[in-house]
Amino acid sequence: MSGVSLTIFYFIIVTPHAIVLKLFLDPLKIKKSAKETHWHVRKSNIGSIENISKQY
């Protein structure tokens, strides 16, 4: 009986609450930070074959 009541509670209370939060909130602020990035353009630093083989 408790499993049935917990299932009903989950689908009636928790699921709509999660859907509303997902639609209207952005807790990680992903949408606002998409305009400004912190990427830097990196110069191509390809050297000779000797430099490439000495990676470590």
pTM for the whole structure: 0.43
CA angle 33, 36, 39 (to 5 degrees): 110
* Residue in the structure block whose two tokens are 């909130």: 25
What does the pLDDT read at residue 4?
A: 93
| Better pLDDT: 16 or 48 | 16
What DSSP element (H or E) covers 55?
none
Residues with Cβ within 8 Å of residue 48, at least 6 apart in sequence? none
Rounded-to-integer distance, Cα 6 and Cα 18, Å? 16
3-state SS class at 48: coil
Q: Where are the domains of the chain?
A: 1-26
pLDDT mean over 27-44:
71
